[in-house]
Structure 1
Amino acid sequence: MTKPVAVVTGGGSGLGLATVRRLVHDGWDVAVLELDDAASARAQEEIPGLIAVHCDVRDAASVDEAFVRIARSHPRIDALICAAGVLRVGALAEMEVEEFDLVFDVNVRGSWLAVKAAVPMLRDAQGGSGGSIVLLASIAALRHRINSGAYAASKSAVATLCRVLAAELAPSGIRINAIAPGTVDTPMTHGHFAPVSDGGYRANAPAPLGRYTSQEDVAGAVAFLLGPDAGFISGAVIPVDGATSAALR
């Protein structure tokens, strides 16, 4: 039986790597698009058979070439997971233009470019019935925080991409959803758990369920959205946050 094939952007570390681990465990073949070659090498050492392709998701030519390389061994893919992302904190009025642009270029433009490149291959998934896409948003898209305005705005844009693409891609049978994690302890978030104001306000805190979101929580939600039980779910932005967004409404 042919294994299903998934492409994971940013799959060399953090939520991307956690998702790769889960999918490989579930019997998928996985190709990772990763800018950090050292992270790719570590992932390949851990996971034999993992395909790793150097890719800058901000660059259209780099993304297109990455999918051309994947197509040489896998002309059809069944899933795309857009996990590449960056976080920059600071007051919006004081943020450097280069940092603001980086957040949007990776989080929004990168997701859009990957979807554009993947759609032709996803249309052939599962005998022509269409594949599945999962974008990584954030509860910051649902409940904004001070000092993370650029990140929150980028993840709000990711949620909008998800909803619009779900309607536009529906005729081809391709489903697209987004996961909105709460605060996850990953390399991207290290250093951002401390108070960020003189009054002791914490931008991040454990969820009402008593802990931070784990990488495995997010990977499990991605696996569900790619599976048959989610076959009629598309255009959803699903919080995986231990009731954080519900408590803050």
Structure 2
Amino acid sequence: MSEKVALVTGAARGIGLATTKLLIEDGWRVAMIDRDADELSLASKGINGASPFVHDVSQPDDVDAMIDAVHASFGRIDAVVNNAGVADFGPIEETDFARWRRVMDTNLDGVFLVSQAAIPALKETKGALVNIASISGLRASTLRVAYGTSKAAVIQLTKQQAAELGEYGIRANCVCPGPVRTKLAMAVHSQDIIDAYHDAIPLNRYGSEREIAEVITFLCSDKASYVTGQVIAADGGFDSTGVGLPALRS
């Protein structure tokens, strides 16, 4: 069994939780990070090999404390999965600066802060950064001026990290999930949206959290030892079609 350690942000639910479980199946130990203490406590119960840490990735001092706590607990960090994010959608004319900053604080600043703080530990292990962006960072869509822009910036940040950190043996890659069948998505997507996605996605379905986690876990692993600076759309072919969805315009 590997003794490698992964730090996963936004680990209390969704893709972060699915990634945590899959990494543990593959022999990793996992530091589960989330700012929702109650949800994190529930999610981490019964997961052997994982430890919960309550921190907010948008706060610089809290991020430094988080890295110190994880390193003190596990002794090393081999991979960082920057998954924490907020989904705040709305028309462009209704997006004020407060909403813009709320999205950027977590989706972009959080990725930057966690990555920067983890660099010394990743240098020691020649580890991996895996940043979770979105299909919305690759193709424009309505209601996503802040969200889509934040995710596009994460894609560019990943490329910068790959270019500058490669000399230390640190790999940096980005995963862009397409529509995923999460509880949140199913709660807010109307039947028209569900039907439109079905028609627009070449595989004719939403992805699962586990399917996204499989890509993330691969990029963390030694199987991807010569893969860096890549942006992988795990989206059922949605990006390749380049067609907008009328059902998402309101």
Distance 2:234 2:193 in 1: 23
User: Normalization by structure 2: what TM-score?
Assistant: 0.91
Q: Counterpart in 2 of 1:164?
A: 160
Distance 2:184 2:57 in 1: 17
SS state at 2:93 partner: helix
The Cα offsets for residues 32-71 of structure 1, whole Å up to 9 and x where unpaired, read as 1110011111122131342111101110000100111111
Q: Counterpart in 2 of 1:205?
A: 197
C-alpha contact (below 8 Å) 2:197/2:204 kept by paired residues: no
Distance 1:117 1:133 in 2: 12
1:215 is the counterpart of 2:209? yes
Q: Counterpart in 1 of 2:28?
A: 28
Q: How has the CA–CA distance of structure 1 residues 115 and 28 changed in structure 2, closer, same or farther, with 3 Å as cutoff?
A: same
1:137 is the counterpart of 2:133? yes
Q: Counterpart in 2 of 1:185?
A: 181
Distance 2:106 2:138 in 1: 19
Q: Counterpart in 1 of 2:55?
A: 55
1:124 is the counterpart of 2:145? no
- Please give the root-mean-square deviation of Cα atoms over the aligned residues, in Å: 1.8
Distance 1:2 1:91 in 2: 47
Distance 1:100 1:205 in 2: 26
Q: Which amino acid aligns with 1:238?
A: I
Q: How has the CA–CA distance of structure 1 residues 47 and 82 changed in structure 2, closer, same or farther, with 3 Å as cutoff?
A: same
Task: Pick one of 227, 234, 242 that aligns with 1:240.
Answer: 234
SS state at 1:123 partner: helix
Q: Could you tell which deviates more after superposition, 130-139 or 47-56? A: 47-56
1:42 is the counterpart of 2:42? yes
User: Normalization by structure 1: what TM-score?
Assistant: 0.91
Q: Counterpart in 1 of 2:248?
A: none
Unaligned runs of 5+ in 1: none
SS state at 1:56 partner: coil
SS state at 2:197 partner: coil
Q: Could you tell which deviates more after superposition, 167-176 or 73-82? A: 73-82
Q: Counterpart in 1 of 2:171?
A: 175
Give the CA deviation at 1:155.
Answer: 0.3
What does 1:2-21 align with in structure 2 at a 5 Å threshold? Answer: 3-21=3-21
C-alpha contact (below 8 Å) 2:24/2:49 kept by paired residues: no
Q: Which amino acid aligns with 1:156?
A: A
Give the CA deviation at 1:74.
Answer: 2.0
C-alpha contact (below 8 Å) 1:67/1:117 kept by paired residues: yes
Q: Identity percentage over the alignment?
A: 35
C-alpha contact (below 8 Å) 1:18/1:215 kept by paired residues: yes
Q: Counterpart in 2 of 1:94?
A: 94
Q: Counterpart in 1 of 2:142?
A: 146
Give the CA deviation at 1:81.
Answer: 0.2
Q: Which amino acid aligns with 2:227?
A: I
SS state at 2:89 partner: coil
Distance 1:192 1:97 in 2: 24
Distance 2:19 2:39 in 1: 15
- Matched residue count: 241
Q: Which amino acid aligns with 2:80?
A: L
Divergent runs of 4+, >6 A = 200-204
